[in-house]
A and B are shown apart, each in its own frame.
Chain A
Amino acid sequence: MPEAGLLIVGGGQAGATAAITLRQLGFTGGITILEATGAPPYERPPLSKDYMQGQRGFESFLIRPAAFWAQQQITLLTNARVAGLDAAARTVILQDGRVLSFTTLLWTAGGTPRRLTCPGAALDGVFTLHDREDADALIARLAFPRRVAVVGGGYIGLEMAAVLSKQGHHVTVLEAQERVLARVAGEALSRFMEAEHRAHGVDVRLGAQLAEITGAAGKVTGVCLANGERLVADLVVTGIGIVPQVAPLLAAGAMGGNGVDVDEFGATSLPGIYAAGDCARHRNRYAGNAWIRLESVQNATDQAIAAAHAIAGQPKPYTALPWFWSNQYDLRLQSAGLSLGHDMALVRGDMASRSFSILYLRENRLLALDCVNNARDYVGGKALIAVGTPLDLARAADPAVALKSLAAA
């Protein structure tokens, strides 16, 4: 049996960051990363951005060059999917039957994309976008203009709509809610993004429930909506969220539900077993200490750093301010904080100028902001969220007043 030590389940953003951080902290114990796919750790954001546009090679977004792991005495086992966990015996079992023992375990398995369950979901031409294989399979079908139905108007769906329409494909976005980005942004940003996509020729359908994907000879030919409407499509791309991959942990007795529960040091309820990233539900101070799961590079990185500190015996709680970015067309979106529980949204600047921000407040204190082509507000707003002082609303809404200056007031 291989040496016991730290086993990291999942070599994505969080798993890779934790391994790197441990070595930076001087942790000399054994580290093995078990990764289900065949790829060394890489960043996912480019998949729906520059990689999809053919502007960037895969090597450029590896988290570290492939040779790094061995140099750092980090064993990277690819094609190693963990199927079960015995917390008492301190072993994991892989899908191929191999059993590995551990002293400490860090679970960073992320999520798997939610799949459609409607009739036709298994037809050739239905894609999701979660890993490199998904992206490559889709790119291979985009050599000439297609009619693409994007299911889901969240960030990934909208980024796909932007990239595909820019390449000359005919894109329809099907969003079940009454606005795009309904789960993550306020109404003003939703309406702005909806208008932007329409102006770029994307057919945005709101309140659109997908009922069936129609096909012929096993291939997608269109989609049918719950209201009976039919649309022609060659390809269907889904961006309807992820399901956290935590079944073996929960089966082994870890607390959780929608993800596995962790404290501010990344510890699960099972001794010596930690988790971080998309799969980890935690109390976030920027959400009024509510239990939430975040799906972002920021969260995966900072939570992994906290877990690594705990594992190295140098605990340092996870308290970082959440931030996120998205690129669509020539729009650079940057968000900071969490808008959960806001009682007011203020638009700063002229939306028509395509450079503005939206402030989310609660009792006049800034909780979060979404910035469009406005790095100045993003930077000033981050400082303001951290300070947490009540704001003079008239000044906060005035783009001539720097947000930064309000932090001092």
Chain B
Amino acid sequence: MVDLVIIDRAGSAHEFSAPGGGSLMEAVRAQGIYDIKALCGGSCSCATCHVYVEASGPLKPMSEDENDLLDGVSERREGSRLACQIVLAEGMAPLRVTIAPEE
């Protein structure tokens, strides 16, 4: 399991653990946090799953495609990621994730 703290757009924090294997986007959706649209269902094509991630350990670097798509969001910042591109792995360090504002 991976420990997650998700801050939704209203500012509420959701603390839970999600199993390894799926993406962060899927974990957020399954938890019933509905701010995340994820319109392309995780195929790195829409950028509607934009989040800000603070990881307490190293994350796999983002792909060029993810980086390029993030260039198109209006509020890219330090820690900007596409939640569908972060694969949760067992033993991963906890993540603190803030859902980015709506485009």
Contact = CB atoms under 8 A, between A and B. Distances in A.
A189 B46 CA distance: 21
B32 interface: yes
B26 interface: yes
Contact of A332 (B32, B44, B71): B44
Most buried by B among A71, A373, A378: A378
A65 B26 CA distance: 11
Interface size class of A (residues with CB under 8 A): 20 to 34
Interface of B (DSSP majority class):
loop
Most buried by B among A301, A376, A382, A383: A376
B16 to A, nearest CB: 14
Interface of A (DSSP majority class):
helix
Contacts of B45: 325, 332, 334
Contacts, number: 55
B39 A404 contact: no
A58 to B, nearest CB: 12
Nearest to A320: B103
Contacts of A383: 72
Contacts of A379: 68-69, 71-72
A323 B72 CA distance: 13
B65 interface: yes
Most buried by B among A64, A323, A375, A378: A375
A26 B9 CA distance: 15
Contacts of B69: 375, 378-379
Contacts of B30: 65
Nearest to A402: B71
A79 to B, nearest CB: 25
Interface size class of B (residues with CB under 8 A): 20 to 34
A379 B44 CA distance: 12
Contacts of A327: 43
A20 B32 CA distance: 13
Contacts of B32: 64-65, 67-68, 71
Contacts of A323: 46
Interface of A: 20, 43, 45-46, 49, 60-61, 64-65, 67-68, 71, 297-298, 301, 323, 325, 327, 332, 334, 373, 375-376, 378-380, 382-383, 404
24 contacts: A45-B40, A46-B41, A60-B22, A64-B32, A65-B30, A65-B32, A298-B39, A301-B37, A301-B39, A325-B40, A325-B45, A327-B43, A332-B45, A332-B65, A373-B65, A375-B65, A375-B66, A375-B68, A375-B69, A376-B68, A376-B71, A378-B72, A382-B72, A404-B71
Given A43-B41, A46-B41, A404-B71, 17 more contacts: A49-B43, A60-B26, A64-B32, A67-B32, A71-B32, A297-B40, A323-B46, A325-B40, A332-B43, A332-B45, A373-B65, A375-B66, A378-B69, A379-B69, A380-B71, A380-B72, A382-B72
Interface of B: 22, 26, 29-30, 32, 34, 37, 39-41, 43-46, 64-66, 68-69, 71-72
Q: Which 9 A-B pairs have the closest CB atoms?
A: A379-B72, A325-B45, A375-B68, A376-B68, A375-B65, A375-B69, A379-B71, A297-B39, A334-B45
